[in-house]
Structure 1
Amino acid sequence: MELSSLPLSRKQLRSIAQSARHRISIWSGAIRSGKTIASLIAFLIALAVAPSTGLVIIAGRSLQTIERNLIEPLQDPALFGALSSQIVHTRGSTTAVILGRTVHLVGASDARAEGRLRGASVCLALADEITLLPEAFFKQLLGRLSVPGARLLGTTNPDSSGHWLKRDFIDRSYELGIGHWHFTLDDNPSLTTQYVTSIKAEYGEGTLFFKRFIEGLWIAAEGAVFDMWDENRHVVTSLPRIHRWIGVGVDYGVQNPFHATLLGLGDDRRLYVASEWRYDGRHQRKQLTDAEYSQRLRGWLGDVPGIGPVRPSFVTVDPSAASFVAQLKRDRLTPTPARNDVMDGIRTVSSLLAAGKLRVHSSCKGLIAEMPGYAWDDKAAEKGEDKPIKVADHGIDSTRYVTYTTRALWQRQLAMAA
């Protein structure tokens, strides 16, 4: 039975063969490094010989991520040939039939997901992106591998060096008899040299995200968040012709500053934070109402200094600012709740800065002042968590909101310029 038509590296083949010896097998390392395809092949082999009693489970952050990361590749004839026809799944369903066996798909987005496993006896489990799963859920899943010969296979990108998965499992892999294989981007023979070069440039050599997602290293987030920030490189005094006004990001504040940033796509295929509007009620000793904020925001967009009237495609607003969102709707300025995935947003801005694809106009003095001091929280890092210190970050948050939320508008065009 041919399991994959992709070329496999020696490391992939070795990990697939050796995984059969272990109750727990973990593939960790860089993005697109070949660890997922290796784990899927190992899973199919394990499923073919799995005990007939007990549940087969695929676990992930959500049903959608399980479908995207695992089920869709398994169903791709380009990857698994004729075998792909033996993976039967209806999108949105919490079960799939794989090699004739019912497989339960379990999303685990928070600690409450742990309750979904109680009472279950599991003979085989595949866990996608383990570091994104709640610790209690993962440990409960391990505890449910009660059928003789039961096994768990899992993949993950690296996280902080203090993350529970590394501390309690990977660092103790020899002691616990866990199979663990570390992959870098260069370990995937199916990638072209051009793609590898491009994605390395995108992440920016030396940055936290390069070390984790390209080199596959487990390192703590420490020091400056945007350690690649360089005013000489990233701040400009003039703008190119703006091809499209992508959006406005709004970090809403009453006691804290209200900060809006305007993002445009230049003819040079770079993104520009072209202007900002900021109001600090505490400093001004006068708080504004939602209606007043809306009026002033619309007034700023109606005549942006040095630019003129602007009609952005999106107005992305701090998702916690429900009353302000309602006010903007009443004022016929259609808002979009911002995507507030902090680490994904930081990674997006970080990658753009590292690749030289994001510039800030010199008039954005609030944002420019915040960038060098935006730092990781050392106390959170000791617990294995990645969190920036929540101080002087309003311009950064507004920029993160608009950049990450609108990425579907600009990603392809920036990629074409690479």
Structure 2
Amino acid sequence: MLRDVPLPLSPAQIRSIVESQDAPIALWSGAVSSGKTIASLLAFLLRLAVSPDQGLVVIVGRSLNTIERNLLDPLQSVHLFGPLARHVHHTAGSTTATILGRTVHLVGASDARAEGRIRGSTIVLAYVDEATLIPQAFWMMLLSRLRVGNASRLMATTNPDGPFHWLRRDFIQRGGEVGLHHWHFTLDDNPSLDPNVVQRLKAQYTGLWYRRFILGDWCLASGAVYDMFDDTRHVVDILPVMRRWAYAGIDYGTTNAFSAVLIGYGDDDHLYAVSEYRYDSARELRQLTDAEYSRNVRQWLANVPRPHEGQRGVQPDWVFVDPSAASFMNQLWTDRVPGIAPANNSVLDGIRSVGVALSSGLLRVHRSCEGLLGELPGYAWDERAAERGEDKPLKTADHSVDALRYALHSTAHEWRHLMPRPELEVAA
């Protein structure tokens, strides 16, 4: 079967594939694009080919969409798997696939309630994508369902998380006791990667994400969240002509500060935090109503200077609002403000998007955004949460940085093309 794969395999990949066949629990972890997914999928196919007929075969991921994107799409790629790809059949949206003639059940496990989807099942072979994102209760239930004698196997991949994450604490560090075999991968273990791809990946991740996703460390979320922020590099006094007034992000506050940040595309192909509206009710000793906030936001946008045009007033294409502020969004709709949408409030992924924009030099901040500039350097990880195995920023002085995150992460698919990219990228 390995001879059918057109991509070259590294010694680390081949070793893990062979050794995993006898491991009750096999885990591949390490850097992004390090070849661990290709190795684990090949190991899964080998094991599937010899698994007994009794018991279910399942593939688990955060959602059906991530299973299709991360696993089934690669498995159906002739470029990656050669003739084996012809033996993988799946209809988009279906909760089953046929792989090597076997029915494989696809299970999304986004929260602890997902354990009910496998309760009572007998499973002979399970594959888990991004195991650190799977609820621990689901993982434990999955282990209890592997009950086809010595034939049952669990195979999983993950990027590293914090050092106190339950997967590391209870399984990796106790591998000998629980029957887990673990292989750690780095970018150098993927012989298919173009050097330009390696360079791009290293440029896209900084700080915590660089250590985890590039170096493959299980490291603590500590210190500054945006440790790449540099006043001399990221703060500007003069703005270029704006090619597009793209987005505004709004973090709604009543007792806390209310903040709105406006993002523009400069004609120099950079993103700019151009202007900010901020109201702190604790400082002003007065809370505003939704109608007053709506009026103030509209007045702010109507008076934003247009660099080098001698005019004022902009209308961003999109205004992304804190999704918990439903009443305020209704007020904006009532006032006929165009482009209103709930923001993507995925905190960690959003922090990563902002970090990518800052570390690459793509994002710059005008000096007039005083609230944002005051929060960026001090925005920090909650070390007590990290010791409990959670990655969470401290919920203090975070209103303008949240507004920035709403604007950038909700539109990452629109501006990532401005990042330097190689012409050819090989998946692995």
The CA distance in 1 between the partners of 2:213 and 2:51, in whole Å, is 33
**Cα offset for 1:240?**
1.8
Counterpart CA distance in 2 for 1:120 and 1:3 is: 33
Of 370, 373, 385, which aligns to 2:375?
370
What's 1:203 paired with?
Answer: 205
Q: Is the 8 Å Cα contact of residues 197 and 422 (structure 2) preserved in structure 1?
A: no
Aligned residue type for 2:249:
G
Structure 2 residue corresponding to 1:165, chosen from 158, 164, 167: 167
Q: Deviations over 1:311-335 (max 9, x none)?
A: 2121010000101111111222231
For residue 336 of structure 1, what is the amino acid of its counterpart?
A
SS of 2:47's equivalent in the other structure is helix
**Once the two structures are superposed, what CA deviation does each residue of 1:255-310 show, in whole Å capped at 9, x if it has no partner?**
11110001112222221111100011222222222122111111111121465211
Task: Answer whether contact 1:270 1:414 (CA < 8 A) is retained.
Answer: no
In the aligned structure 1, how far is the partner of 2:233 from the partner of 2:264? 18
- CA, structure 1 residues 3+320, in 2 after alignment: closer, same or farther (shift >3 Å)? farther
2:316 alignment partner in structure 1: 312
User: Following superposition of structure 1 onto structure 2, how do residues 12-411 of structure 1 map, counting pairs within 5 Å?
Assistant: 12-148=13-149, 149-204=151-206, 207-305=207-305, 307=307, 308-333=312-337, 334-411=339-416
The answer on whether the counterparts of 2:306 and 2:314 sit within 8 Å (CA) in structure 1 is no
- 2-side partners of 1:264 and 1:190: how far apart? 37
CA apart distance, 1:176: 2.9
Q: Distance in 2 between matches of 1:259 and 1:396?
A: 9
Q: 1:285 to 1:279 in 2, by over 3 A?
A: same
Helix, strand or coil at the partner of 2:292: helix
- State the alpha-carbon separation in 1 of the partners of residues 243 and 216 from structure 2: 37
Q: Choose 131-140 or 186-195, whichever is displaced more.
A: 186-195
Counterpart amino acid of residue 217 in structure 1: D
Structure 1 position 202, deviation (Å):
2.1
CA–CA separation in structure 2 for the residues paired with 1:19 and 1:242: 54
1:57-84 deviations in Å (ceiling 9; x for gaps): 0001011100110011111111122221
Partner residue in 1 for 2:426 = none
The count of aligned residue pairs is 416
Which stretch shifts more, 119-128 or 270-279? 270-279
Question: 2:419 is paired with a residue of what secondary structure?
Answer: helix
Deviation at 1:179, TM superposition (A): 1.3
In 2: Cα distance, 1:81 partner to 1:146 partner: 33
Displacement after TM superposition at 1:26 (Å): 0.2
Give the Cα–Cα distance (whole angstroms) in 2 for the partners of residues 321 and 197 of structure 1: 40
In structure 2, how many angstroms separate the alpha carbons of the residues matched to 1:405 and 1:35?
29
3-state SS of the aligned residue for 1:415?
coil
Shift, 1:164, TM fit: 0.4
Once the 2 structures are TM-superposed, how far is the Cα of residue 172 of structure 1 from its aligned partner?
1.5
CA distance in 2, matches of 1:243, 1:406: 17
One-letter identity of the residue aligned with 1:155: T
Letter in 1 for 2:403: S
RMSD: 1.4
Structure 2 CA distance, aligned partners of 1:25 and 1:326? 50
SS of alignment partner, residue 238 of structure 1: coil
How far residue 151 of structure 1 moved from its aligned partner, in angstroms, is 0.1
Distance 2:68 2:372 in 1: 39
Give the secondary structure class of the aligned counterpart of 2:157: strand
AA aligned opposite 2:318: F
Q: What secondary structure sits across from 1:345 in the alignment?
A: helix
1:344 Cα deviation from its structure 2 partner:
0.4
Counterpart residue type for residue 310 of structure 1 = V
Deviations 1:331-371 (A, max 9, x none): 22231110000000111111221222211110000111111
**Structure 1 residue 177 displacement after superposition:** 3.0
In 2, Cα distance between equivalents of 1:186 and 1:272: 35
Cα contact 1:275–1:364 (8 A) shared by 2: yes
Specify whether residues 265 and 319 from structure 1 end up closer, same or farther in structure 2 by C-alpha distance, changes over 3 A only: same
Q: Give 1:117 deviation, angstroms.
A: 1.5
C-alpha deviation, 1:416, in angstroms:
5.6
Mapped to 1, the partners of 2:280 and 2:177 lie a distance apart of: 55
Matched-pair identity in %: 57
Q: Unpaired runs of 5+ in structure 2?
A: 424-428
Quote how far apart the aligned CAs of 1:138 are.
0.6
Q: What is the one-letter code of the residue matched to 1:178?
A: L
Contact conserved, 2:185 with 2:216, CA < 8 A, in 1? yes
C-alpha deviation, 1:413, in angstroms:
2.3
Shift of 1:3: 4.3
The structure-2 alpha-carbon separation of the partners of 1:310 and 1:414, relative to structure 1 and needing over 3 Å to count, comes to farther
Write out per-residue CA displacement over residues 171-205 of structure 1, whole angstroms, 9 at most, x where no aligned residue: 1223333111101122211111111112212224x
Query: Using a 3 Å threshold, how does the CA distance of structure 1 residues 103 and 15 change in structure 2: closer, same or farther?
Result: same
Query: Post-superposition shift, 1:23?
Result: 0.5
State TM-score, norm by structure 2.
Answer: 0.94
